[in-house]
Each structure stands twice: as C-alpha cells, then as structure tokens.
Amino acid sequence: MTAEASGRGRAPDGRSSYEILCDRVAGSMRVLDLGCGDGLLLELLAQPDRQLSGVDLPPHSLELARRRPALFEAKLEEGRAQELPFADNSFDACVSHMALMLMSGIEQVAAEVARVLSPGGVLACVVGGGAVGGEAYEGFLTLLRRTIEETPASQRIPALGDKRTRSRKGLDEVLGPAGFAAVEDWETVRIDLSGPVEQVWATVSGLYDLGPLDRATVEQLRHAFFAEVRDMTTSDGHVPCAFKIHIATARLR
C-alpha cells in the first residue's frame, strides 16, 4: 500500500499503523527506518535530539523524503537492506513498515540489522496480516488473484519476500540466528480503510501487484470491484474495508 493509504487507515484506538510503530521505539534516540519510502514514518518519529536515518532503493522516494522539513537533518541513503550503508552499532532501534515482508535474502537482512544495532537495540516492524472477512479488501484480493491468473507472465510481479516474516514463529526463525532474542511483543491490529467507493478503490489499487498491469486491465478490475462492493455499501455511501497487520518487536541480545 502507498504511504498515503496506510496513513489514512486507523486502528480501533484511532491511531494509524505508523503511529503504533512509533510508540514501539519511543525511548530510542538513534533510529533507522528500513524501507523508508517517502519519509512519512520518519517524519512522525522526528523529535528534538533524535537522530534519524532511512534507507531505500527508489531515488524518487528518497527525494520526496528529503523535502519534508522535519527530515532536513536526517541521513537518507540509497541502498539495499542486505548491505546497509551504515557502520556497526549505529542505532538504538530499527523500524520497518510493511517492507520487511517483501525483502529477499531475509537472513542477510536480519544479520545486517543486527550489525548496525547496538546491543539491546530493538527491531520493530509492521507486516501484513491479511484481509478481514466479508469486507471490500477481501473481495478485491479475490478479483485481483483472478485477474493476475489471466494476465500474461510478463505483466506479473513474482512473489516477494519470505512468508516466515508474517508469523511470530517464522520471525523467530529468521531473527534468532542473527542474535535477536525471541519476539517479545506480537500484536494483531485491525486497520479500517472504509470510505466512499472511489476512496476505497484508490487505496486498494495502490498494491504493487497492479504496477505492471496495462490500463485496460486495471479499468476492468475497477469495474469488477465496484460491482463486487455494491451490495455491501451502506446507505450513507460508505464501503466497509479493513485488513489486519501484525506489529512485532524483538531485541538484540
């Protein structure tokens, strides 16, 4: 999902998933954002005396991050999580929002995060937990899978990431060999993205899977989605739409 979409979604307590993640590293003063994108999470983390760094691959995303006034002093680097451009023991905490689960070579990523964290440093991440049954996001995913199955291989994005990052047991399997203690906190939260159908479509159509699809295919998917949610639309024009996230924290031994 785009940062704008995730930033709009709200947990039952009214916070965004970004704000929940910020709370997991509240006492840390040197923080790295792994897969920082356009810097929204880093901007929320900004506070006096806190040293912020971010790393990501797309130069245009990093340029957007550099334009945020709160990040003028942040160290934003183009690079891969498997080979972080930072010295050993550089950070007290590392955060990652919906990015860790998409990374290849996850054991190497874990080793690199452990290298740049100080002993006792914390890794806090948000990973996807799937759709909420009977709502628009579940219907969209069903339509999307059907569309992709009918799409030429050249217009498909291969499966990304390592499924182990999406469960507490799997994350322990990944992080343990890198020197992390067992995941100390694992919370599943419902994120509500409900709204007018056009707004909901703008949110769900931000999934990376749609990137290679041609315009005609996306438009067909859009029409199918509007038909799919017609019967679940409330009298005031809102479409129920939610998905689950997992927020995990682990500490370096």
- Cα angle, residue 220 at apex, residues 217 and 221 outer, rounded to 5°: 90
Per-residue pLDDT of 30-87, as tens digits, reads: 999 999 999 999 999 999 999 999 999 999 999 999 999 999 999 999 999 999 999 9
CATH for 3-251? 3.40.50.150
pTM, entire model: 0.93
Per-residue pLDDT of 125-135, as tens digits, reads: 999 999 999 99
> What is the three-class DSSP state of 206?
coil
CA separation for the pair 20, 22 (Å, rounded): 5
Per-residue pLDDT of 101-120, as tens digits, reads: 999 999 999 999 999 999 99
Note the pLDDT of residue 34. 98
C-alpha dist (Å) from residue 120 to 89, 117, 157, 175, 181? 10, 8, 37, 14, 10
